[in-house]
Amino acid sequence: MSESLAQYTALMVMKHEFGEAHMKRFLKYEMDRYLAGRSGEKKQELPLIRWEGQGYIRYNKASVVFYALQDYVGEEAINRALRGYVQDVVFQQPPYTNALELDARLRAAMPPEYGYLIDDMFDAVTLHENRHSPQLIVHPPTAGTR
């Protein structure tokens, strides 16, 4: 998870330096790279919390996941959870921290209505297919108008 946290840090620097419009383009690139890496996978993809060296998971997927978390609950909430986690483990002696401890810290930072996000983003492989239909939607005129 250390690489994923480094990605999140870089994303927040980019967000503040270049703005949201730039981030949307970059995150689309990251998502495309994740999906391309996933499509070429010879073994079953593991959840983010249990990845085994696949770069497309620890870099590309993690970028999208951490950015989405701060979109849902706010950058400060995620930063506060990460700050507390790092303070608790910074000079830790064996046994060392692991991804499950980070998972628990992030889960604790989530408001109850967003608890499912950690399940979907870290503990499972969840993909959503969202499509936009280019159909023209015509609204009927309101009463008294032509």
Residue pLDDT, tens place only, 48-68: 888 777 888 889 999 999 999
Beta carbons of 67 and 22 less than 8 angstroms apart = no
- One-letter amino acid for residue 144 of the chain: G
List strand residue ranges (DSSP E) for 4-134, in order. Answer: none
- CA end-to-end span of the chain: 60
- Residue 82 CB coordination number (10 Å): 18
pLDDT tens-place string over residues 1-49: 788 899 999 999 999 999 988 999 999 999 999 999 989 888 888 888 8
List Cα–Cα distances, 32 to 29, 58, 129, 131, in angstroms: 5, 14, 14, 16
